């Protein structure tokens, strides 16, 4: 019996250790494995600026948005360093408190031309959920201004493949089913 208890306790310790992570390791859960070691890690501040936690050597930057307005309890994200001004603008609008207020601010910025554009072709990788164990990965590719006509891709998911969401806007992006 003592042997069984020792085995069970050892197994639990190993599985608990798999989920114990430093803040840097937690943020990098969203990063593609081949880019993780060279990624930059930042920490957003309440004034929508950031501190660099770790300077990377590639263009991928990752950060934690867990618990911020309009985000799930666990949310980590990676994108191109070229998109940090857009992320800052998003966070500023999200701080308005509700999805409706955020959307109204986004729509107004789109309409008056002050919406910061993302880098064309840049990837946005989100890992979000109730906690890291129940998080879902969602990957999109920014194609600001793109339309079905300009890219030759549909602007709806009816065909079941990649499609352009928000076509013709600065928010246009390729939706990648299953990711």
Q: What is the pLDDT of residue 67?
A: 85
The tokens for 92 are: 């500023």
Q: What is the pLDDT of residue 177?
A: 85
Q: Is residue 155 part of a domain?
A: no
Q: What is the pLDDT of residue 20?
A: 59
This prediction has a pTM of 0.84
Q: Is residue 127 part of a domain?
A: yes
Where does the chain show beta strands of DSSP type E? 40-44, 50-54, 60-64, 74-80, 123-129, 136-142, 163-165, 173-175
Q: Is residue 116 part of a domain?
A: yes
Q: What percent of the chain has pLDDT over 70?
A: 89
Continuous segment of H or E residues that includes residue 148: helix 148-151
Give the separation between CA 73 and CA 118, rounded to whole angstroms: 25
Q: What is the pLDDT of residue 6?
A: 42
Give the range of the structural domain holding residue 42, as residue numbers without chain letter.
Answer: 27-142
Q: Is residue 8 part of a domain?
A: no
Give the separation between CA 167 and CA 149, rounded to whole angstroms: 10
Give the separation between CA 166 and CA 111, rounded to whole angstroms: 14
Q: Is residue 45 part of a domain?
A: yes
Q: Is residue 108 part of a domain?
A: yes
Residue 167 predicted with pLDDT over 70: yes
Give the separation between CA 142 and CA 135, rounded to whole angstroms: 22
Q: For the chain, how many structural domains are there in total?
A: 1
Question: Exposed, middle or buried, 77 (CB in 10 Å: 0-12/13-18/19+)?
Answer: buried
Q: Is residue 137 part of a domain?
A: yes
Q: Is residue 129 part of a domain?
A: yes
Q: What is the pLDDT of residue 11?
A: 42
Q: What is the pLDDT of residue 178?
A: 80
Mean pLDDT over each residue of the chain, to the nearest integer: 89
Q: What's the rounded mean pLDDT across residues 93-109?
A: 93
């Amino acid at each position: 019996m003592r042997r069984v208890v020792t085995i069970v306790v050892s197994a639990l310790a190993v599985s608990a250790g798999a989920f114990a992570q430093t803040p840097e390791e937690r943020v990098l859960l969203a990063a593609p494995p081949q880019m993780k070691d060279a990624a930059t890690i930042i920490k957003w501040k309440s004034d929508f600026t950031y501190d660099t936690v770790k300077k990377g050597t590639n263009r991928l930057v990752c950060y934690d948005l867990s618990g911020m307005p309009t985000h799930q309890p666990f949310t980590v994200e990676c994108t191109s360093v070229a998109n940090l001004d857009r992320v800052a603008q998003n966070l500023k609008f999200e701080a308005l408190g509700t999805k409706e207020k955020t959307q109204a601010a986004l729509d107004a910025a789109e309409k008056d031309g002050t919406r910061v554009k993302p880098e064309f072709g840049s990837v946005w990788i989100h890992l979000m959920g109730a906690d890291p164990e129940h998080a879902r990965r969602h990957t999109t590719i920014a194609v600001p201004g793109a339309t079905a006509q300009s890219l030759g891709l549909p602007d709806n998911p009816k065909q079941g493949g990649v499609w352009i969401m928000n076509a013709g806007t600065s928010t246009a992006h390729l939706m990648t089913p299953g990711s």
